[in-house]
Amino acid sequence: MNQRIKEAYEKRPRTWIYHLAIAIIFVGLMIWSGTAVETAGTTMDGGEIALNIIKGIFQPDLSFLFNLTTKGVPYLMLETICIAFLGTIVGAILSVPLAFISASNLTPKPIAFVGRIIIMAVRTIPAVVYGLMFIRVTGPGPFAGLLTMGVCSVGMISKMYIEAIEDLDTRVVESLDAAGCDTWQKIRYGILPQLLPNFASTAIYRFDINLRDATILGMVGAGGFGAPLIFAMNSYKWNEAGAILAGLIVLILIIEYISTQIRVKLTRG
């Protein structure tokens, strides 16, 4: 018995050359990327600044945090939720046609490829650039923010939609066809029940991400908590920044909990 184990152990695959090659490539890449690390140096002592930041964040400006007018944290959070919510809906609606065009099991390969390139191009343009474009359309404010968020969501949402569409079980549609259903009935009872839970789950997931990413909108003055947060940080008002961050963390944790519950329910049916 022991002999056989030893024999089997001797015959174990020797992959050290392969592992060594990967390790060398990895270390090489790290050294290559390490060459880019540079800093202009700080005027003040970095440690002291870090300490101030932490102090400020743990002593949030309470009057700002619980200010119920349109200038307080609760209203900023409400505005952000609204931007993220409508933005997600806009993104989800825009993604549906794109996803159907790019799903390789429905459309011919060349068209699907073009669709994928379009999605990738939409994803590559940074949110800042979209923000600027939309501010020309609507003027600064939450309206521009929600449009920016919508377009930024298209990339991820349509990618997940494509996967859902490509996973469609076509046998259901075939059997409905055999049972004599017309096209509308086939879509209603064969396709929608398969797609809707997936689509809804993706949209909710993206809503989560959009809430987190709403800071970016502040950079272009497109509403939400981003602009006040960045202003507060740039002028070293750490108490105010701390208040906004505290509100944000509570909000995100609550929304994440709710959205996880809904998504678990959706996937279990």
Partner 1 sequence: MSIYDKIFKPKVYTLPNGKTVEKKASRMPVYFILVFLMCAVSVKVTGFDMKILSERIGQFFVILGEMFPPNVSYIEKVWSPLFDTIKMSLLGSALGALLSVPFAMLASTNVCPNKVVVSVIRVMFSLIRTLPTLVTALVATLVFGLGTLAGTFAIAVFSFAYIGKLTYEEIETVDMGAFEAMEAMGATKARAFISAIVPQVLPFYLSNCLFNFEGNVRYAAVLGYVGAGGIGLILNEKISWREYSSVGTVLVALFIAVFIIESISRMLRKKLV
Cβ proximity to partner 1: between 177 and 200 the closer is: 200
Give dist(CA 66, CA 148) in Å, integer: 29
> Of 189-228, which residues contact partner 1 (CB under 8 A)?
212-213, 215-216, 219, 223, 226
Q: Which stretches of the chain are DSSP H helices?
A: 2-10, 16-34, 46-58, 62-65, 73-102, 109-124, 127-138, 142-166, 170-178, 183-186, 192-213, 215-218, 226-234, 238-268
Angle at 118 between CA 80 and CA 92, to 5 degrees: 35
Cα separation, 231 vs 171, whole angstroms = 56
> Which region among 10-18, 33-41, 97-105, 164-172 touches partner 1 (by CB under 8 A)?
33-41
Among 91-99, 133-141, 171-179, 180-188, the segment contacting partner 1 (CB under 8 A): 133-141
Residues 101-120, one symbol each (x = binds partner 1 by CB under 8 A, - = not), give: -------------------x
Least distance in angstroms from the C-beta of 5 to partner 1: 12
Q: Give the CA distances from residue 240 to residues 1, 47, 227, 232, 257, in Å, rounded to whole numbers and listed in that order.
A: 71, 21, 12, 6, 26
44-103 residues in contact with partner 1 (CB under 8 A) are 46-47, 49-50, 53, 78-79, 81-83, 85-86, 89
**Exactly one of 8, 32, 109, 269 binds partner 1 (CB under 8 A); which one?**
32
Residue 58 to residue 38: CA distance in whole angstroms: 30
In whole angstroms, how far apart are CA 49 and each of 43, 215, 237, 239, 243? Answer: 11, 22, 12, 14, 18
Q: Does 10 bind partner 1 (CB under 8 A)?
A: no
Residue with tokens 């929608």: 192
Nearer to partner 1, 126 or 170 (CB): 126
Q: How far is the CB of 44 from partner 1 (least distance, A)?
A: 8
Determine the size of the site formed for partner 1 (CB under 8 A): 66
**Which positions lie near partner 1, rule CB under 8 A?**
26, 29-30, 32-42, 46-47, 49-50, 53, 78-79, 81-83, 85-86, 89, 120-121, 123-129, 132-134, 136-138, 141-143, 145-147, 212-213, 215-216, 219, 223, 226, 229-230, 233-234, 241, 245, 248-249, 252-253, 256
